[in-house]
Structure 1
Amino acid sequence: MTSLSLIKISFALSLFFFLLPSSSSSRLSFTTIKNHDQSLTTSYPQSQTERLLRSFNLFPEDLVNIIDNEPGFTPGSLVEKKFSFLAASGSSVEDLGHHAGYYSLPHSKAARMFYFFFESRANKDDPVVIWLSGGPGCSSSIALFYENGPFKLANNLSLVWDDYGWDKASNILFVDQPTGTGFSYTSDESDIRTNEEGVSNDLYDFLQAFFKEHPQFSKNDFFITGESYAGHYIPALASRVHKGNKAKEGIPINLKGFAIGNGLTNPELQYPAFTDYAVDKGLITKEDQDKINKLIPNCEQATKSCQTNGGNSCLQAYKACQSIFESILSIAGDINYYDVRKKCEGSLCYDFSNAVTFLNDRTVKAAIGVKNLKFVSCSRTVYNAMLNDWMKNLEVDIPSLLDDGIRMLVYAGEEDLICNWLGNSRWVHAMKWSGQKGFESATSVKFVVDGAAAGDLTSHGPLSFLKVYKAGHMVPMDQPKAALQMLKNWMGGELAA
């Protein structure tokens, strides 16, 4: 293991990084950074977003990155540079194959999407994997440093190679999206996305540009992964890629599968599962459940209305269904609802603030091509903008993907409340597709890692469901060895019951 303090990084970066080309598309001459708390929705969800930020100990100074008078926007341009946070390990920039860049979204007024790309430590012919974090509005860099990136960020701001980083089995992308998340930004508020059509089109455009920039990876197998609200993003992007391939749009993307970790995909079936899960975990009593369950019919009816009518009916569904979750928390107290084995001590559930400190360091930002821009760990503005999307059922396009042989893995840490394994299991089992009966009758087996049971696995054809033991909302953080083995087996077509 090789660690590198932030002070040493400053020295290493000065030796191992080169400047972006001096062109209008590569200049990041930021002027005024504004804190826009846009009036895209009502103020109702403020308590929910405050809880999200507080639970992760993430307190961004800016609600979203909206830049005034940002010059030089060239739609469709991609500017990338190589870097090394671990140059002191003896590896060169070329050896490590670490990249960071900005892509100027063509279907926007002035939006630039930030990403990290890490080439495989094992074999450049390994699959290409894209990782999407949820929120909505939380940066994928949180996962990079605390879940499945090439290295971990320690409390003293040192970086240590991660033995279970997913770059040990794949060439992996971490993307800050939708616009306004992390280091992604715009100079026009209309670029803040409000639905999965906008989200998936942006990501598809980015992938086209990425494979054009890196043609040596375009023939590799491609997998879409992520967690939490990415239970919306992932199936939307998988569908968009598959449709693009069928229509022969641009560069063919060799989509083989998509994996959703502790995701929100079909709210109508997942919200009613809250009380069953909470009773099973001893968070509430059966008497409590009977009272809270009186809220379920209104939630279900409002969710159906959202699917049909959209718009404000979806916000009403959000309010109706969130009342179930809020009622459980009012009884359960200060539990960590991402891992019910733990308590939220004071304002903390998890402390990811070191990532914010690290990424806001001037030398680090210069190394990855970011200048006078503050890192927005979780954007309240992006969260609010996506509220009418929240209660949408993103299962709808999945059956056609499965029927065309695209593999899907749904995995869930058993200790997570907010996107619990029970709700995920219910929507997966209820999904109508050609293999539904076979999946329902499939026998569950143990998922074994190094001779020990690490989860319960159910598989049939292209569909797999895995409940992961001793893990909360962020499976790669809680069970890194099992998560890496899961990824390897699944991408290799060997994750089968």
Structure 2
Amino acid sequence: MPPPPHLLKINLSWLPLVLLLLLNLFSLALCVSVITHLPGFRGRLPFYLETGYVSVDEEKGVELFYYFITSERSPSEDPVLLWLTGGPGCSAFSGLVDEIGPLKFVKSPYNGSLPNLVYFPDSWTKVANIIFLDSPVGTGFSFSASPEGYYVGDLSSSMQVHSFIIKWFIDHPQFLSNPFYVSGDSYAGKLVPLIAQIISEGTNYGNDLVLNLKGYLIGNPATGEKIDQNSKVPYAHGVGIISDQIYELVQRHCEGEDYKHPCNVLCAKMLDTVEELISKVQKTNILEPKCPRASPKPKSKVERMYVGIRYRELLGPPEPPPSFKCRTYVHLLNYYWANSKSTQEALHVKKGTVREWQRCNDDLPYTKDLHSSIKHHLNLTSRGYRALVYSGDHDLVVPFLGTQEWVRSLNFPIVSDWRSWNFGGQSAGFTITYSNNMTFATVKGAGHTAPEYRPKECLAMIRRWLSLKPL
């Protein structure tokens, strides 16, 4: 196994960056640890894993936690992906073990012992170096030393991610020449184009620090537009959840309305009917059993203050826990593993900074102040940056119909029209490519989010796209 990138000899051409790093050591406040073993995983990790903190707001003491895994193919040449998970408030660890990373939990009934991890071969680290970032602050193991630090929103947290990535690359200059992509899914899909645009407007930061930003990729992405919510009705109609009559009445009474905030009584009444019918299925994948979300819930309405944000009175898993047959059961294993003292010591989590790790923290005082990401998509793709937008076609959280609609609204000419893309001799979904380097693809049979349901197909998709090949 080659030595990890941190141990590679630095060429003298990097001397200005090294001096810059030394001069700004205290302001950067990077705390980095190389992890070779993890609780629950047998033997040494077969890949390079690094964890660490980066200070993004010194005044308020905000530090973002990350996991970095180098490519298992060619770390010095393969792209670097910054990965953000949705929510807002869902830990990037979920992306690592549930979606695109090289670890998976062994799904077995929880018996009080630490859940086991195994190597997962269909990881995107087969073709890319990936930074899994806990953002916004209060997500996963990211924290603020002051209560005020937790009060962020779409715009301010995106600026903090920008600060993170600049400092991270200063500390990892050996990756500056690699192609760099901002990526994420679900709610993070709304923020990714904004973050990419912020980076694109200052790719040259002086002192020889030039980021090789090539584009971005988003899965099952939110936009902030009413498109996301409104597309649930035609999708539910198309898959037989609502009838022709209900669909027609919604069209009649809700024309021009925002389905999330209807203004007339008849529209609101019909949308209540639609929501009642949709509630009978699993929104993340309409073909799977309906299951509760496996995240801790409050056991009382008593609030306890801890470093400025609300935490649950008692720690513990959801009640009742999801059935073992549910896909969300593995999220319960995430919870027990990440809250283990031995786990946090192995990951070098700073003691006392996070009272309870949650896969998705719903208690953050977070402001959704980016009303739409469409303009950022248009800005970036018009300037030549590459974009991959993909959707699981069984997702009712952010249906592909709405995603396809806003992609079309950009009005770029079609280069390669709607066609099947294949894996293993079978159709894995459908795709279309536009002249602005934007590719849209569906992943057949996948839900919210696609790699969790179709990992082999999604690895093939990302391998081809990163290699500048047609899907």
TM class by shorter chain equals: 0.7 to 0.9
Aligned position for 1:454:
428
- Counterpart code for 1:342: E
Matching residue of 1:148: 100
Shifted more, 348-357 versus 236-245: the winner is 348-357
Note the C-alpha offset of 1:182: 0.8
- Tell me how far apart the structure 1 counterparts of residues 249 and 468 of structure 2 sit (CA, whole Å): 45
1:15-54 maps to which residues of 2 (within 5 A)? Answer: none
Give, in whole Å, the separation in 1 of the partners of 2:453 and 2:130.
20
Does the 8 A contact of 1:112 with 1:185 survive in 2?
Answer: yes
Is 2:452 aligned against 1:477?
yes
Aligned-pair distance for 1:431? 1.5
Aligned letter for 1:191? G
Could you say which residue in structure 1 is the equivalent of 2:78?
Answer: 126
Name the structure 1 match of 2:332: 353
Measure the CA separation in 2 of the matches of 1:203 and 1:325.
Answer: 37
What's the CA shift for 1:166? Answer: 1.0
Partner of 2:345: 366
Give me the TM-score of the superposition, normalised by structure 2: 0.78
How far residue 109 of structure 1 moved from its aligned partner, in angstroms, is: 1.0
Aligned to 1:96: 47
Instruction: List per-residue Cα deviations over 1:123-177 (Å, max 9, x = no partner).
Output: 1121111111111111111121111111101134211111111111111111110
Once the two structures are TM-superposed, the CA of residue 363 in structure 1 deviates from its matched residue by: 0.9
Amino acid paired to 2:403: N
- Report the residue type matching 1:490 in the other structure: W
Paired with 1:393 and 1:223, the residues of 2 have a C-alpha distance of: 21
Q: Is the 8 A contact 2:204 2:211 kept in 1?
A: no
Q: 1:110 aligns with which of 58, 61, 72?
A: 61
2:11 equivalent in structure 1: none
Q: CA deviation at 1:442?
A: 4.2
Indicate conservation of the 8 Å contact 1:114/1:176, yes or no.
yes
SS at match of 2:220: strand
Aligned equivalents of 1:327, 1:388: Cα separation in 2: 30
CA distance in 2, matches of 1:198, 1:249: 26
Structure 2 residue matching 1:376: 3-state secondary structure = coil
Tell me the residue number matched to 1:381: 363
Amino acid across the alignment from 1:477: E
Whether the 8 Å CA contact 2:38–2:343 is kept in 1: the answer is no
Q: Distance in 1 between matches of 2:439 and 2:393?
A: 16
Quick one: which amino acid aligns to residue 282 of structure 2?
A: N
RMSD: 2.7
Distance 1:301 1:330, change over 3 A: closer
Runs of 4+ in 1 over 6 A off after TM superposition: 321-326
Aligned 1:78-227 pairs, distance under 5 A: 78-85=30-37, 91=44, 96-106=47-57, 109-124=60-75, 125-156=77-108, 157-227=115-185
Give the conservation status (yes or no) of the 8 Å contact 2:82–2:133. Answer: yes
Contact 1:274 1:420 in 2 (8 A): yes
- 1:395–1:346 Cα change, 3 Å: closer
Q: Quote the Cα distance in structure 1 between the aligned partners of 2:268 and 2:84.
A: 23
Distance in structure 1 (CA, Å) of the matches to 2:279 and 2:259: 26
- For residue 252 of structure 1, the aligned residue among 210, 220, 223 is 210
SS in 1 for 2:428: strand
| Superposition map of 1:237-386 within 5 A | 237-245=195-203, 251-293=209-251, 294-295=253-254, 297-299=256-258, 327-345=273-291, 348=322, 350-351=328-329, 352-370=331-349, 371-372=351-352, 373=354, 374-382=356-364, 385-386=366-367
Q: TM-score, normalised to structure 1's length?
A: 0.74
CA distance 1:355–1:274, change in 2 (3 Å) = same
Instruction: After superposition, give the CA deviation of every residue in 1:173-220 in whole Å (9 maximum; x if it has no partner).
Output: 111100111111113233235433212211111111111111111111
What per-residue deviation string (whole Å, max 9, x for no partner) do you get for residues 23-57 of structure 1?
xxxxxxxxxxxxxxxxxxxxxxxxxxxxxxxxxxx
- Provide closer, same or farther for how the CA distance between residues 393 and 403 of structure 1 changes in structure 2, counting only shifts above 3 A: same
**CA–CA distance in structure 1, aligned partners of residues 292 and 346 of structure 2:** 35
CA–CA distance in structure 1, aligned partners of residues 238 and 180 of structure 2: 38
Alignment partners' CA distance in 1, 2:270 and 2:44: 51
Between the aligned partners of 2:268 and 2:197, the Cα distance in structure 1 is: 28
More helix by share: 1
Name the SS of the counterpart of 2:201 in structure 1. Answer: helix
Unaligned 5+ runs, structure 1: 1-72, 303-315
Distance in 1, matches of 2:268 and 2:206, equals: 41
Q: CA deviation at 1:443?
A: 1.5
- Cα separation, 1, equivalents of 2:292 and 2:137: 32
Is 1:493 matched up with 2:457?
no
Structure 1 position 84, deviation (Å)? 2.5
Q: Name the structure 2 match of 1:35.
A: none
Q: Distance in 2 between matches of 1:341 and 1:130?
A: 31
Tell me the secondary structure at the aligned position of residue 155 of structure 1.
Answer: coil
Q: Distance in 2 between matches of 1:180 and 1:143?
A: 17
| Larger displacement relative to structure 2 (255-264 or 192-201) | 192-201
1:186 to 1:86, Cα distance in 2 relative to 1, 3 A: closer
Is there any run of 5+ residues in structure 2 with no aligned partner, and where?
1-24, 109-114, 294-321
